[in-house]
A and B are shown apart, each in its own frame.
Chain A
Amino acid sequence: MNDTLKYAYYPGCSLHASAGEYDLSTRELFSALGISLTEVPDWFCCGATPAHNVDELLSLSLCAKNLELAEQVEGDLAVACASCFSRLKFTQHTLEENATKRKQVEKAIDAPVKLDGKVKHLLEILAKDLGLERLAASVSKPLAGLKVACYYGCLLTRPTDVPNLDCPEAPTIMERVVEASGAETVAWTHRLECCGANFTLSRPGVVLQLTNAILDSAKAAGADCIMVGCPLCHGNLDIRQKEIENVYSAEYNLPVFYLTQLVGLSVGLAPDQLGLNAMIVNPTPLLKEKGLL
């Protein structure tokens, strides 16, 4: 019997830099779950948010080339970053619908565009490919009593008909995954609002305002922590949290976990395997209080 799940893995730039703990926890978690990840050889930046605002052909070509590289590895393409996921899915969607652009891209990358491979976010792999039942069966340390606010941000589910991860306006996939790990989830209002990621450097005032509304809403709903699947959202919610508290005279103290960190804890991985020490808002007091450390 060979039911090992095998994927090509596209970490994306963030996971090799500011979101190193997302990369680490992804590899550790998947290894613990018996899911094989093989990094795409020679992968490079997908262009993320800047490229498609400047030059559509460049943006499509960067993604198309990465998709071509991924063909060398057996299995669907596993993507951790919500932005990479969005760009890769957009590229597939655009090139499937538009033959002219497809030709331009093929000329640019000097190779035929292949669109057969599936691009999957980690959530999809955990919830659908592995399945919630198998995930729940792997849990050795249920996250009992931990109240999690699942934060989707803009890109994971939208726009309609592109990512097709879940219902674009009322998704439940994050909640289902973390509930399988034994956590409680809270119903809150801002789980699909934008954190302002694109403006994090150019207009920090806007970002502070948007991110504050998200933190405020999560706190008001009684959450202990926030779970994300996007390095950009993570940056705003975690790194900027202290600054927001100062500007808005608020106190949140909400640790911001990557989904792989929380699920990783539930399957018994140690804090250093999950890079918990890299989190700015220290999760240790909370995890100790809940008896999870």
Chain B
Amino acid sequence: MSRIGVFICHCGENISRTVDVERVARDVGRLPGVAFSTDYKYMCSDPGQTLLKKTIQEQKLSHVVVAACSPRMHEKTFRKAVEAAGLNPFLCEMANIREHCSWVHENIEEATIKATEIVGMMVERVKKNRVLPTITVPVTKRSLVIGGGIAGIQAALDIADAGHEVVLVEREPSIGGHMAQLSETFPTLDCSQCIMTPKMVDVANHPKIKLYTYSEIELVEGYIGNFQVTIKKKARSVNEDTCTGCGVCMTKCPQKKIPNKFDQNIGMRTAIYIPFPQAVPNTPVIDRENCTKFKTGKCGVCQKVCGPGAVDFEQEDSLIVEPVGAIVVATGFDLYTIDEKPKGSPIKGYGEFGHGKIADVIDGMTFERLASASGPTGGKILRPSDGKEPKQIVFIQCIGSRAREKGISYCSKVCCMYTAKHTMLYHHKVHGGQAYVFFMDARTPGKSYDEFWRRAIEEEDAVYIRGMVSRLYQKGDKIVVMGSDIAVGVQVEIEADMVVLATAIQPQKGADLLAQKLGISYDKYNFYSEAHAKLRPVECATAGIYLAGACQGPKDIPETVSQASAAAAKVMTLFSKDQLEREPIVARVREAGCVGCFACKKVCAYGAVEEKEIRDRQGNLIKVVAYVNPGVCAGCGTCQATCPSKCVELDGYTDEQVIAMIEAL
């Protein structure tokens, strides 16, 4: 026979104002199985918990029902108290008589009756509760970091510095990401490469970091603490172990006119190349699509001139499996392109800005490459069309961003600041030039940010025009910018030599496909979703996977670095224990009844359902049944509802428990 203790909380007056708590305690005290019932002003307070613990021991209670607020609020609190008193925590249930009763009713008589019924249901339910042991999962103390931009680099260095191995995977031939492309950075105007490259070298030299560049994630299996990641290492055609990085191959390569993506296609590179001089690793890669040897079979100059014989035309893609316990996703961003978008895409292009067909209409990243000392013009601001210095330049903000009719409603966050920076760089480099900025609002929250854009206007002569541009068109060698100045209420036309569009930040192409491999969720723009917008901003809902940087939403460098360090801290917390403890609210398969239809496997969003072979003593296969991996199961109950033969039960939420509740009504 159960000896159930029921504790009715007043919640100050939150409950007792509309529920006669003493009457509830008296009435449920008469229910079969209830050995003790009482009411108390604040059950969650220290004296309240002491009362609970003391009563469990004095009354030798077998089960506990606390009638108070939502279990989301205090279930953990009371289960902990129950455990401290020597009972299994899963023998304690909460009856929600605040959110579900006192807060939403006014009539005391009716609310009291309803509260009594809610508590009565939980009394019947708790009788069916079983002792559930805590689940432990071993942890592989190595981490995968996907993406070698500043976010991935920071996360990898932090985790590695804490003594844990890191596998860093980068899609491009070098790490560095977009930050390596930038000229100077706001709000201090320090050179991006100067602060970035030491970190890149640290990554290359770190004994705990295993770097895979020119590689992609092929497959992710497993669960928190125990992932198996298959990495595809694309054929570099250059042996990384023997190459010394001397660069002779690149100087001798006859293919010299290939647009360099790193320079936004305004600079040229060879077919065997490193994307930029400070690349890490300093090992070239052969772009097979543009290499004469791969196209025609003739050439091979690079191989002939290579001293250590590192060039290998026969190299093939290879697959490597790495076991890791945690994953940091840091795949970064891409920029909106202003061309018209293909049919069916919810995001529309900007036809009115010349389809991206006017050569001297460039985006912000291209301007960064023009302004960068290591860029294709050696840091001179020159027009892509004719190499002349633009004497009038127009910057247009919010291209793509905050434009619902174009399909993107969010603010890209960094453009106000980098446009202010661009006007300053322009002012420093083009003497006698004039910069204009069309803007909707200047959004400059951040340390020293507003001062920075005020400086652009007050000290660096940028003319800010509040209003948007309706159209651009080429007229001779000028670009006519037609816009409005809403502060004055007039239409303005500026004949510019060059136009820079602050295009929106979007997730990397293929971000959705990677999310599907990882089993993490993403929003309609393909930004990855955090588990909680405020309180769990660096964790995915999928256990063991963390987010860093602009793959989650537009971010500037300091914010990205902060989040990367936060993600690293989360990984270190996970790695601080040898075994991972987790709540035993997981699904279990009754193998005797399972027919192996695997309907449960199809609906499981977490990949927790596996196929398990049942064999007799001689080793003959009897049948294949479903098995729920308790390490992966999130306890959502979808499999339980789906199973056609009613052979999946969710511990803590069994059919028996729920039916008992219904019957109590």
Interface residue ranges, A against B (CB under 8 Å): 160-161, 167, 169-170, 189, 192-193
B355 touches A170 (CB 8 A): yes
Contact check: which of B349, B350, B473 meets A189 at CB < 8 Å?
B473
A103 CB, nearest partner CB in chain B, Å? 28
Bitwise, B532-568 to A at CB < 8 A (1) or not (0) is 0000000000000000000000000000000000000
Which residue on B lies nearest to A193, using beta carbons?
B471
Evaluate whether A169 and B475 lie within 8 angstroms (CB atoms) in the complex, with A160-B405, A161-B405 already known: no
Tell me, in angstroms, the Cα distance from A160 to B351 when the chains sit together: 13
Tell me, in angstroms, the Cα distance from A169 to B348 when the chains sit together: 10
Q: Is B352 an interface residue (CB 8 A)?
A: yes
Contact check: which of B340, B471, B474 meets A167 at CB < 8 Å?
B340
Residues from 423 to 482 in B contacting A, C-beta threshold 8 Å: 471, 473-475, 480
A42 CB, nearest partner CB in chain B, Å? 37
Contacts of A161 in B (CB 8 A): 405
Evaluate whether A189 and B355 lie within 8 angstroms (CB atoms) in the complex, with A161-B405, A169-B350, A170-B340 already known: no
B405 touches A189 (CB 8 A): no
Residues from 316 to 357 in B contacting A, C-beta threshold 8 Å: 340, 348-352, 355
Tell me, in angstroms, the Cα distance from A161 to B351 when the chains sit together: 16
Q: List 10 A-B contacts (CB under 8 A).
A: A161-B405, A167-B340, A167-B348, A167-B351, A169-B351, A169-B352, A170-B340, A170-B352, A189-B471, A193-B471
Tell me, in angstroms, the Cα distance from A161 to B406 when the chains sit together: 11
Tell me, in angstroms, the Cα distance from A192 to B349 when the chains sit together: 17
A sample of 11 more A-B contacts (CB under 8 A), given A161-B405, A169-B352, A189-B474, is A160-B405, A167-B340, A169-B350, A169-B351, A170-B351, A170-B355, A189-B471, A189-B475, A189-B480, A192-B352, A192-B471
Tell me, in angstroms, the Cα distance from A166 to B348 when the chains sit together: 13
Contacts of B475 in A (CB 8 A): 189
Tell me, in angstroms, the Cα distance from A160 to B474 when the chains sit together: 25
Which residue on A lies nearest to B351, using beta carbons?
A170
Tell me, in angstroms, the Cα distance from A169 to B351 when the chains sit together: 6
Contacts of A189 in B (CB 8 A): 471, 473-475, 480
Which residue on A lies nearest to B405, using beta carbons?
A160
Q: Which 4 A-B pairs have the closest CB atoms?
A: A170-B351, A189-B473, A169-B352, A160-B405
Contacts of A160 in B (CB 8 A): 405
B481 CB, nearest partner CB in chain A, Å? 12
B399 CB, nearest partner CB in chain A, Å? 13
Contacts of B350 in A (CB 8 A): 169
Contacts of A170 in B (CB 8 A): 340, 349, 351-352, 355
Contacts of B340 in A (CB 8 A): 167, 170
Tell me, in angstroms, the Cα distance from A160 to B403 when the chains sit together: 12
Contacts of A169 in B (CB 8 A): 350-352
Residues from 340 to 384 in B contacting A, C-beta threshold 8 Å: 340, 348-352, 355
Tell me, in angstroms, the Cα distance from A193 to B352 when the chains sit together: 11
Tell me, in angstroms, the Cα distance from A117 to B158 when the chains sit together: 64
Tell me, in angstroms, the Cα distance from A189 to B358 when the chains sit together: 12
Which residue on A lies nearest to B353, using beta carbons?
A169
Tell me, in angstroms, the Cα distance from A199 to B248 when the chains sit together: 70
Which residue on B lies nearest to A220, using beta carbons?
B475
Which residue on B lies nearest to A161, using beta carbons?
B405
Contacts of B405 in A (CB 8 A): 160-161
Tell me, in angstroms, the Cα distance from A142 to B455 when the chains sit together: 61
B112 CB, nearest partner CB in chain A, Å? 43
Which residue on B lies nearest to A170, using beta carbons?
B351
B567 CB, nearest partner CB in chain A, Å? 39
Contacts of B349 in A (CB 8 A): 170
B230 CB, nearest partner CB in chain A, Å? 43
Tell me, in angstroms, the Cα distance from A151 to B340 when the chains sit together: 20
Contacts of A193 in B (CB 8 A): 471
Bitwise, B473-500 to A at CB < 8 A (1) or not (0) is 1110000100000000000000000000
Contacts of B351 in A (CB 8 A): 167, 169-170
Which residue on B lies nearest to A188, using beta carbons?
B473
Contacts of B348 in A (CB 8 A): 167
B146 CB, nearest partner CB in chain A, Å? 37
Tell me, in angstroms, the Cα distance from A193 to B348 when the chains sit together: 21
B358 CB, nearest partner CB in chain A, Å? 11
Contacts of B473 in A (CB 8 A): 189
B299 CB, nearest partner CB in chain A, Å? 41
Residues from 611 to 646 in B contacting A, C-beta threshold 8 Å: none
Contacts of A167 in B (CB 8 A): 340, 348, 351
Interface centre among A160, A161, A170 (most CB of B within 10 A): A170
B474 CB, nearest partner CB in chain A, Å? 8
Contacts of B352 in A (CB 8 A): 169-170, 192
A19 CB, nearest partner CB in chain B, Å? 28
Tell me, in angstroms, the Cα distance from A83 to B340 when the chains sit together: 27
Tell me, in angstroms, the Cα distance from A197 to B107 when the chains sit together: 66
Contacts of B480 in A (CB 8 A): 189
A173 CB, nearest partner CB in chain B, Å? 13
Bitwise, B397-414 to A at CB < 8 A (1) or not (0) is 000000001000000000
Tell me, in angstroms, the Cα distance from A117 to B473 when the chains sit together: 39
A190 CB, nearest partner CB in chain B, Å? 8
A41 CB, nearest partner CB in chain B, Å? 38
B155 CB, nearest partner CB in chain A, Å? 41
Contacts of B355 in A (CB 8 A): 170
Tell me, in angstroms, the Cα distance from A69 to B337 when the chains sit together: 46
Tell me, in angstroms, the Cα distance from A223 to B158 when the chains sit together: 64
Tell me, in angstroms, the Cα distance from A189 to B476 when the chains sit together: 12
Which residue on B lies nearest to A167, using beta carbons?
B351
B223 CB, nearest partner CB in chain A, Å? 45
Tell me, in angstroms, the Cα distance from A161 to B404 when the chains sit together: 12
Tell me, in angstroms, the Cα distance from A167 to B348 when the chains sit together: 9
Tell me, in angstroms, the Cα distance from A166 to B350 when the chains sit together: 14
Tell me, in angstroms, the Cα distance from A169 to B350 when the chains sit together: 8
Tell me, in angstroms, the Cα distance from A189 to B471 when the chains sit together: 9
A59 CB, nearest partner CB in chain B, Å? 23
B306 CB, nearest partner CB in chain A, Å? 49
A91 CB, nearest partner CB in chain B, Å? 21
Interface centre among B351, B474, B480 (most CB of A within 10 A): B351
Interface centre among A160, A189, A192, A193 (most CB of B within 10 A): A189
A128 CB, nearest partner CB in chain B, Å? 14
Bitwise, B487-525 to A at CB < 8 A (1) or not (0) is 000000000000000000000000000000000000000
B361 CB, nearest partner CB in chain A, Å? 14
Which residue on A lies nearest to B348, using beta carbons?
A167
Tell me, in angstroms, the Cα distance from A160 to B349 when the chains sit together: 13
Tell me, in angstroms, the Cα distance from A242 to B517 when the chains sit together: 67
Contacts of B471 in A (CB 8 A): 189, 192-193
Tell me, in angstroms, the Cα distance from A108 to B656 when the chains sit together: 62
Tell me, in angstroms, the Cα distance from A63 to B480 when the chains sit together: 39
Tell me, in angstroms, the Cα distance from A269 to B350 when the chains sit together: 39
Tell me, in angstroms, the Cα distance from A160 to B348 when the chains sit together: 11
Tell me, in angstroms, the Cα distance from A169 to B355 when the chains sit together: 10
Tell me, in angstroms, the Cα distance from A155 to B598 when the chains sit together: 57
Which residue on A lies nearest to B480, using beta carbons?
A189
Which residue on B lies nearest to A217, using beta carbons?
B473
Interface centre among A160, A169, A189, A193 (most CB of B within 10 A): A169
Tell me, in angstroms, the Cα distance from A167 to B350 when the chains sit together: 10
Contacts of A192 in B (CB 8 A): 352, 471
A163 CB, nearest partner CB in chain B, Å? 14
Tell me, in angstroms, the Cα distance from A157 to B543 when the chains sit together: 49
A283 CB, nearest partner CB in chain B, Å? 27
Tell me, in angstroms, the Cα distance from A265 to B480 when the chains sit together: 36
Interface centre among B352, B355, B474, B480 (most CB of A within 10 A): B352
Tell me, in angstroms, the Cα distance from A167 to B340 when the chains sit together: 10
Which residue on B lies nearest to A189, using beta carbons?
B473
Tell me, in angstroms, the Cα distance from A268 to B348 when the chains sit together: 39
Tell me, in angstroms, the Cα distance from A193 to B474 when the chains sit together: 15
Tell me, in angstroms, the Cα distance from A161 to B352 when the chains sit together: 17
Tell me, in angstroms, the Cα distance from A31 to B471 when the chains sit together: 39
Which residue on A lies nearest to B404, using beta carbons?
A160
Tell me, in angstroms, the Cα distance from A160 to B352 when the chains sit together: 13
Tell me, in angstroms, the Cα distance from A161 to B407 when the chains sit together: 12
